[in-house]
Amino acid sequence: MDYKSESKGSTSREANSLATKYEVLLLEQGAARPSPERMVLVFQVLDDLRSHLGIFSQVIGMVRDEMFDAVYSEQYTGSKSTKSSYIQRIPYFSLVKSVYDERHEVAEELREQLDVIKKRLFDKHKQYEDAQDTIAELKKEISGLKETIEELEQDLNRSHAAHHRLEQEMLEEKEKTVMTEHSLKCDITDFKEDLRDAQTEISYLKTFKKGYDDLYEAFQYHPGSDQSSHGKWKEPVIATKRAHLISNIQSAMKIEGQILTVQNSIIEEFDKFMEDHKTELANRHYTENPNEPSYYRQEADVERADQELWTIQERFKKSIDDMNTELDLIRQHTVMLQEQLQHLEENKPEVRPSKTREEKAKASQAKEKVIENGRPNTRESVLSAGLEEKDPEDSMADPFIPQERVFSKYGAMMYTSSNNGKNWHEFQDAKYCPSCGEKTMLCPHKVGGQEQLVKLPINCTHIKIMRPKVRINQTLMESILHKPGTPESSIDLPPSRGSSASAATKKLRGMASIMGKIGAGTRAEILSNLSTTRTPVGGGSEAHMVHSMQRLWDDFKERTAIERSIPRQLSLNRTLSLIEQFYAFNIWQDETAHDEEGFYSVLDNLYYYMSERYMKEDVTYLATNDLLSAVVENSTGNKTIQVFGHILVGNLDGACFRYILLMSDFINLVDWKEVEDFRAFVEIVYPFLPEDDLETLQMGYTSFSENKISKNRVCEFLMYIILKYREPRFQDMENRLIQFSVKETGQMDEQEFNEAVENLVPVCNERSRKRLFWEAEAHGQMDAMQNVVPVMRLAQIASFLALLQIAPVIKESVADKVAKARAKAIAAGEKLPAKGGTTQGSTDANIMSWSGVRNLAVSVARRKQSRKRREQEDAEESELYSTY
């Protein structure tokens, strides 16, 4: 009983205890998961239990606070519901749960978007595969189209090649047609001339025919007539054959003149093509860098231009060779005719003394007797004039000239050698031929049958064949063909090759050939220039112009015996173009020529350039004669040509034209508008001049240009002061060089000049300095100077080197400085417009400049390199074919 009551009491206490209460509350919360309500209950339990823990209550309170801070965040939340309203802090796990819930929502959205993207990607991938299939099909179509394009391009290239070939054939046919037309016209002209000559000769021979008919009638047999008077011979007068020879000589000379005229036409056509070719090269700016994209395209253009030039050159050489062959034949024929005429004159019989009165009376009685005996009384024949009766003992003499030399030009003398041409011996069968006038082995006078056998000596290695030498007495020919009062006095026999004409005769004929090109208005002036005086053309009486243009002709006669019988007149533009191309040739030689090639004067380089241009020696001298004639003719009216002429004769050094070209570069850079621009220009190019000299130079230009300005006028003024030797840099450099002239006053050798240049122009082009000195030294040898050069010429060289050194600086600033000086003068009100109109020149043609000439030189060099490379390739191909 007691036990049961105690048990019930304890159970009742346990049911009413706090522990059981809180245990029940916790179990009612469900599973042990953190939630805000559970945490509130937990902390409530802790708060309720802390008061029952005794000494542990404080510790448990501290633990409770720590756990509260660890569980609850600083964020608050609340509720306004009807049951309860509260504000409490949010637990961390609630925040984490909300974050995770947000992330899960975002993740769900991303998953949905990813699914959409995957679907789109799948669609795109499918489209990509379809596109790849389409691309593959298109590529196949493109490859097929490319093959079609290649085939069409090949067809097009073949069509172009065929078109080009047809064009070439058409051009060749046109040229052949033009040549044929020209030849036919020449033939028509020749036939007309021959027809006129034949008609003249017929009219001339009618008289002789009538006399011959009378003579024939006189020699007819008539019965009953006395035949005793016909026993004597009459000798024909040689004057008839003499006139025939002179007529043939005239015809030969006329044909030679026509051939020379055709030759001039060929040279003129070649020059026109060369000018077109030069213009094409000058208008192109070729790059010298092989890495440039346009380099190989330019190489193709150069190759094409060179092939066209090669075709024209080969045609020109063939035409010239044909002309030379015809000229040699006609000249040989002329020489043979002159030889026959000489022989005729030397063997002319003496004129017998006139008959006495008794002999004339006897002859008259005999004639009357013949008439009485029944012979018809015929008229005296014209051929009987000059006929003399001959004695019976001389009746067997040949009435014609026995020693005809018309076939001697086909004769030859032969020599043999048994030691490779060191010694020569005559053929044993060689004999003197009276018709040829000397010993011959083969000639038409010795051929007795259809063949002739010649026995060669033992060990014969070489055979030499020589034509007979022509020996003509030129004095006799001139006396025959220039007899006053005779019909033949108008014939002029030019000295043939190998003739022994005197130097004075050659000089006069050379002068006449040059003067034949010059108009009547300037003949006296040019004649004075060609005289042997020392007065230069266009130079006045300046002391530095010591040589005249006659020196060019003296040098020409020393180089060759060829004479210009029919000159070819060059226009002013053609002359300037040739000078420009020659300048380009010299500038390129300065940059690329090797020392082993030697150093020559400007005049020697001119002949070398002309030989390179015309390729044939005789044409070279003929064309050079034409150029020199044009220089003499135009030197008084053109400063560029005048300077060129004085450089050739040696009055100026070759550095002068280089100096002028370099100054022309500066002149081209300036925009010339006012006369005062010249003052600013000279201040830049002559920085060493004082103010007074600048003012004097400005006044000189104003007077020279008549208060007008243009780049042509400035360039002409520059050449004007050079010709007058008033160029400031030349004068300044000469005064400074004189101080280094130690060995001989007024002259310097190479060592002295090198030392002077090292002091005056310390950073100069060493190669240019050497070449220019040696060029001046070579020209000085014409004045009998050895290893020395006058200081005046060296001053021009040093001036060019000094200007070349500062040229880049001047080019960069000259245009801006002149423009700024003009603007400053206008702003200050110092420059007023000139009276009577603008101060600027009306015309301003292009001038030769260093840049333009060098560009032409580079283009020509590229063309030569292309020619050389093609020749090497052809040689290698031919060598390769020869090995097989």
Query: 77: which strand partners?
Result: 88
Question: Which of 569, 810, 520, 539 lies closest to 652, judged by CA?
Answer: 539
Q: Name the residue with higher pLDDT: 815 or 845.
A: 815
Q: What are phi and psi of 670, to 5 degrees?
A: -90, 140
- CB count, 10 Å around CB of 186? 15
For residue 354, pLDDT over 60 is answered with: no
For residue 521, pLDDT over 50 is answered with: no
Instruction: Report pLDDT for 656.
Output: 93
User: DSSP string of 714-757?
Assistant: HHHHHHHHHHTT--HHHHHHHHHHGGG--SBTTEE-HHHHHHHH
pLDDT confidence bin for 80, thresholds 50/70/90? low
Question: What does the alpha-carbon distance between residue 209 and residue 207 come to, in Å, rounded to a whole number?
Answer: 5
Question: Which of 665, 713, 676, 711 lies closest to 812, judged by CA?
Answer: 665
Question: What does the alpha-carbon distance between residue 613 and residue 623 come to, in Å, rounded to a whole number?
Answer: 10
What lies within 8 Å, CB to CB, of 622 at 6+ separation is 267, 562, 564, 568
The backbone region for 380, taken as left when phi is positive above 0, alpha when psi lies in -120 to 50, beta otherwise, is beta
Question: What does the alpha-carbon distance between residue 792 and residue 735 come to, in Å, rounded to a whole number?
Answer: 9
How much is the average pLDDT of 160-182? 88
Instruction: List the structure tokens of 316.
Output: 């020109």
Which element (helix H / strand E) includes 86? strand 85-91
pLDDT confidence bin for 386, thresholds 50/70/90? very low
pLDDT confidence bin for 238, thresholds 50/70/90? very low
Q: Are the CB atoms for 272 and 312 separated by under 8 Å?
A: no
The DSSP code for 347 is T
Tokens 């201040």, residue?
683
Instruction: List the structure tokens of 72.
Output: 């609850």
Q: What is the mean pLDDT of the chain?
A: 76
> What's this model's pTM, rounded to 2 decimal places?
0.57
What lies within 8 Å, CB to CB, of 670 at 6+ separation is 677, 681, 711, 814, 815, 818
Instruction: List the structure tokens of 575.
Output: 């002359």
State pLDDT tens for residues 578-635.
999 999 999 988 888 887 777 788 999 999 999 999 999 999 999 999 999 999 999 8
Question: What does the alpha-carbon distance between residue 364 and residue 370 come to, in Å, rounded to a whole number?
Answer: 10
Choose the weakest-confidence range: 13-22, 276-285, 290-299, 719-728: 13-22
Q: Name the residue with higher pLDDT: 602 or 389.
A: 602
Instruction: List the structure tokens of 489.
Output: 């006095």
- CA angle (461, 467, 470) in 5-degree steps: 150
pLDDT confidence bin for 883, thresholds 50/70/90? low
Question: What does the alpha-carbon distance between residue 884 and residue 871 come to, in Å, rounded to a whole number?
Answer: 20
- CB count, 10 Å around CB of 21? 13
Question: What does the alpha-carbon distance between residue 99 and residue 73 come to, in Å, rounded to a whole number?
Answer: 14
- CB count, 10 Å around CB of 593? 14
Question: What does the alpha-carbon distance between residue 699 and residue 679 come to, in Å, rounded to a whole number?
Answer: 9
Q: What are phi and psi of 696, to 5 degrees?
A: -60, -40
Query: 89: which strand partners?
Result: 76
The DSSP code for 383 is G
The DSSP code for 133 is H
User: DSSP string of 493-555?
Assistant: ----TT----HHHHHHHHHHHHHTTS-GGGHHHHHHHTSSSSPPTT-TT-TT----THHHHHH
Question: Which of 562, 440, 587 lies closest to 506, judged by CA?
Answer: 562
pLDDT confidence bin for 139, thresholds 50/70/90? very high
The backbone region for 433, taken as left when phi is positive above 0, alpha when psi lies in -120 to 50, beta otherwise, is beta
Q: Are the CB atoms for 563 and 506 separated by under 8 Å?
A: yes
